Structure 1
């Protein structure tokens, strides 16, 4: 009996030890099953979330990648020059503007006599200086601190100069000569050479101008009234006409001889001028009646000119030499050549004289024919005024040909060539 109770006790002890172990195994199995039932993509998302929650310290900050450039306005009294890109600038004038490629949260200048602010849009900065921010002809260094939205910051060095300039000061430069003249005029008229003195002088001049203008206006009105009143009175008209007639009679009696002489001289001048015109026309007609062979220098060689140009008289050859030749076309007259103006001593054979040079190959001799014919018109028919310029041009051409011949042969042209 005792042995049965002892055996029963041993079984109970073994049973109590096995039950906890079984429960623990079941719990472990359930956990493993739960882990196995969780989708793989959920685990991947958890891993990515953990990775994104870790900050990436390798990305550049706004302060490191920002680009800073000067931004207008481009005027003569304000300018900004780049000394070192994105970090150092020279500014001239009382203000400066900068454009940034990264959004700006705030700006600051710790030194006195200068301030900075961010303009609307967040990427433009304005820097303003007080007039004494930089000494005359010197520069002052200011540090512009720029704070960005990502928490980074950057220092920019600004070397400021001529901060006492302004728009008004620049515009006043154009008025300096006028202001100086006004000050000098004020001083000449007893006023002080100060703004107050100049203002008093201008007021005095204006008062005088108004006074004179009023006086002249009143005087003009009175004069017009007197004239109208005088014209309305027949007696005044009679008196006026009488005075005018008396003045003309006295002028005639005092200067009548001179007036008559001048009138006579005018008449004689017109007569002489008419006589001169008639004489020229007569001379031209007489020259047309002469034969070209009567010109001593041309003689029998006149036939060459008649064959080439149809000129039979000295007048025709002189006209051809001075003015040239024209021919009729459907559109009017067309110039064949312009006479002596179209002659070239470098190549006379290539000019309108070529038909004559075929028979008289001596260029100086042909030019001399033209010159002697012009002189014939001057001496025999008194037409020198018509051909003076033509004669001068021919003489220059002859001298030019003689000089060229001397350079080629070493001896001057023989007298017989002419």
Structure 2
């Protein structure tokens, strides 16, 4: 997944787009366009576009607009004999960013990772001047600056979408803060109109237009692109979010308290945030049904039971036994509280209010279902709440 266009730092407010499941960085590092987050900043030169002339019939002017590589256009095919073409003209007051699968040639010897989203999934138009409003639209212009919608799309006043250009978006109520509540998923069309969701992604019947809402992106808005989920954060919103340095300080504070394993009495320690997914010998482990934190041990791992179903030595409750990992992507936190809770069943640790928030967010899954997931790894949450309070034992000396 990539955000098209070079990002130039400036005095203007900037926006970060965070990708779910990467927990702060990709396994092989953030390189080139393959990153776990992207900064959208004011460009040195505006490249935004806005609707201009509409050709209702298949005319020579319409054909010229389609073939003109310097002219942005959207073509709606009504039938074999008729096409509606909407020409777009340059807008000096906005910048455009496009999101989709990268089509660049790579010199890497590694095989390209397959993406579930369209090459041209959506486009975001940002104002270059205060208040720097950003709006999202389904579908993106291709390398020839065209968007083609075939006969399979639905046309509503020169608006539409296809099965592969589905742009649902959710805005949190009260913003992305401690007391935020889940919003409602909407579908954004090619022209930026807002609709209620269809029954399934492939349904031919569109949802109802929601006149009271707009396609403006707000701090904490979620964007789903056929399985790839993005979190939109503004510069102002991130100013109230803990930094990576703050999370590192919290990690060191926990380790300085010298939590111990109640079985082996060995001191536990969260590994460096740079060593994600590498189990350390001092790694804390947790029983997800009760929250008691231990070091790794073989207690309760009887042959007749599944290796993931263990018995806690402290309270005898049985359930999954997993290593704990700190949530390293600060952009997913709703507050700067201590890491006292863990998502279930993945074991990613963050603040209480952060786990409570994400456990209430229904994320699109498949063509018509939703479920809550851990933002750090995108794994579906399990259990009554989807998270557990951690119970550490302090040093006995």
More strand per residue: 1 or 2?
Answer: 2
TM class by smaller structure: under 0.3
- Alignment TM-score, normalising by the size of structure 2: 0.19
More helix per residue: 1 or 2?
Answer: 1
Tell me which of the two structures has the higher relative contact order, counting C-alpha pairs closer than 8 angstroms and 6 or more residues apart. 2
Please identify the structure whose Cα radius of gyration is greater: 1
